[in-house]
Structure 1
Amino acid sequence: MSGNRLYLSVSLLLSVGYFWLGWSLMQPEPKHNFTPCLFKNVTGIACPSCGTTRSVLLITKGHLQEAALTNPLGLLAAIIMLTLPAWLLYDFFRREKTFYNNYSIAERFINKNKKIIIPITVSLMLGNWIWNICKGL
């Protein structure tokens, strides 16, 4: 992926994430069990990422432990949503490509070590999925 395409894609994804987070923050406390998760609406079973928005919302209110228990992916999402905009802005104003360079290094590392990384990632996601199902998310 080219540098410009990467920066544009990440910026758009971050914008969508911040829009969704802002919209979610403005909603009153839900009085029903509505979920935007297509997987859960079709199957009735929580997906591995179910509860991520709730987890990030809890982080914005300072409830880190509750956020981690709701869905640990929310912690990762919050870290990404806090660090990437600053990194992208740094590169923009300094006219550098540090994010792209680090992305390229990470991509090469993952491709070189995918026999180890893929099973670990799949195991972690399955563990998170089981966690979501067991707690009745």
Structure 2
Amino acid sequence: MKPKTFYLFISFFCCASWGWLLGFEHFRQHSSPVGVTLCPIKAVTGYPCPSCGTTRSVHTFFEGHISEALWVNPLGIVAGLLLAIVPLWLLHDVLMRRATLHKFFIAFEQWFKRPYVYIPFFIFIVLNWIWNLYKNL
């Protein structure tokens, strides 16, 4: 992916992610979300997907309740850290006219293609899914 396309995509993704998180906060404060799910997998099957609860986990993480965020969904910690770091890194690259985020992404992508990296990641996702099923999220 070319740097310009990458930065446009990341900018859109950051805006959409923060919009989703802020919309979730508004929805949480102004409605009773009992029984409401936005996950298409859970809506169709009745079972949570591996990422179910990530929005709640990120929200809880940003409120400073790390252990609760881990309990809801450990992926929320990763997502929360990315939501905090990536926009700042993006802004840095734009202001300094550099492409360090893009270079990091390319290097990370190459590193992630190695079996000793993606296999434990896959196992973590499966274990997280089992955790979500166990909690009846």
Map 1:24-103 to 2 at 5 A.
24-27=24-27, 28=29, 30-103=32-105
> What is the aligned partner in structure 2 of residue 133 from structure 1?
133
8 A Cα contact 2:49 2:132, kept in partner: yes
- Paired with 1:67 and 1:39, the residues of 2 have a C-alpha distance of 22
- Paired with 1:124 and 1:81, the residues of 2 have a C-alpha distance of 21
- Paired with 2:26 and 2:63, the residues of 1 have a C-alpha distance of 13
Aligned residues, how many? 135
C-alpha deviation, 1:102, in angstroms: 1.1
> What is the aligned partner in structure 2 of residue 14 from structure 1?
14
C-alpha deviation, 1:108, in angstroms: 2.1
Structure 1 residue runs of 5 or longer lacking an equivalent are: none
> 4+ residue runs of structure 1 moved beyond 6 angstroms?
none
- Paired with 2:9 and 2:33, the residues of 1 have a C-alpha distance of 35
TM-score by length of 1: 0.93
Moved more, 20-29 or 118-127: 20-29
- Paired with 1:135 and 1:44, the residues of 2 have a C-alpha distance of 13
C-alpha deviation, 1:31, in angstroms: 4.6
- Paired with 2:65 and 2:96, the residues of 1 have a C-alpha distance of 35
> One-letter code of the match for 2:111?
F
The root-mean-square deviation of aligned C-alpha atoms, in Å, is 1.2
> One-letter code of the match for 1:99?
L
Note the alpha carbon deviations across 1:28-82, whole angstroms, 9 max, x for none.
2535210100000000000000000011111222211111100000100100000
Identity %: 34
Structure 2 residue runs of 5 or longer lacking an equivalent are: none
